[in-house]
Amino acid sequence: MAISFTLLHRDGAARAGLLTTPHGVVETPIFMPVGTQATVKGLTPEMVRAAGAQIILGNTYHLALRPGDELIRDLGGLHRFMNWSGPILTDSGGFQVFSLASQVKITDHGAKFKSHIDGRLLELTPERAVEIQENLGSDIAMVLDECPPADADPARLQAAVERTIKWAARCQVHQRRSDQALFAIVQGGRDPQLRAACARELVALDFPGYALGGFSVGEAPEEMHAALPACAALLPEAKPRYLMGVGRPVDLLVGIAAGIDLFDCVMPTRNGRNALAFTADGPVRLRNAQHRRDPRPLESGCTCYCCANYSRAYLHHLFAAEEMLGPTLVSMHNVAFYLRLMREARTAIATGRFTVFVATYLARWKDDS
């Protein structure tokens, strides 16, 4: 087996465990910073490690287009290419089937894209998605799936689920690397019966891990929160569970409470580039004039490099002056905050006080950002 997963503690549905991969052991629940194009935007690998990251995520679609998966393979694989020695999970390009819908033609065979870079065609089939990820050499690869929008009609949802199941089986047949785990993705939108049917078929194929896809694609957060416990319960107890592309700190806590182990999202770095910092007391918008003379650190008690060395006033100045250090420092803090939240959640689960932990955080946050 390319990976193994051990559950250490439970507190209600919340779980804490160890995910062992060829490039190291990951403590769960964990957040994976997103390195779409072989870089976590604005941060060096050393910064990402210092923030507490144990595993990061790369993007199949983007890396296949630029610089090319075969080039990365020839240069020693994604770990060496980007100087990240820890575990890497790569998505399959399935989300781009959703996000680039206007440039995609989907058939049972696969998806054809027009490159957002130069307009050239890229055909992504289940087999090609596996080949790309095997060339990249990630520890965990994802099957190709079809992710329908939140407002998809029942017929389209049904078709997407059927295609996702068939594509997952084709990915499994085509897999060659024994040192790479292939995770399946459960789709079904907001239809609990479709979700259950999709999960049932995929669990029967016995993948080493499972993901919930098709969340945070336009539905209200409350709908996702309500659906997560039942959806997570569809997945095998003894295997890692991954909620794809989610999200805000409150979403992570709700996901952990439902029994999710792995998360990823661009929010820490995307918001960091736009002067929004996440803290235990809620978001801080550093462009606001109130920070112009504020000598306090971004978050009191935070030990990240940003908070240990710079004031809110300095960060406000960097964004006002459009200096590139501002986005780097706030991204660094945001990633550290997300990973600290995961670390504290693991401790709370292990000590049987996860419910109190969540309630304390929710009471401190000034809004749901």
Take residue 368 and report the two structure tokens written for it: 């749901």
Catalytic residue among 91, 139, 145, 251: 91
* Furthest C-alpha separation in the chain: 61
The b-or-e profile of 255-287 (16+ CB within 10 A means b, else e) is bbbbbbbbbbbbbbbebbbebbbbbbeebbebe
- What whole-number distance in Å separates Cα of residue 77 and Cα of residue 72? 5
Backbone phi, psi, residue 183, to 5°: -100, 140
Q: Environment class of residue 303 by beta-carbon count within 10 Å: exposed (0-12), middle (13-18) or buried (19+)? A: exposed
277, 299 in Cβ contact below 8 A?
yes
- Euclidean distance between the first and final Cα of the chain, in Å? 39
Catalytic option among 11, 69, 251, 264: 264
User: Is 264 part of the annotated catalytic residue set?
Assistant: yes
User: What is the gyration radius of the CA atoms in the chain, in angstroms?
Assistant: 20
DSSP state of 91: E
- Catalytic site residues? 91, 264
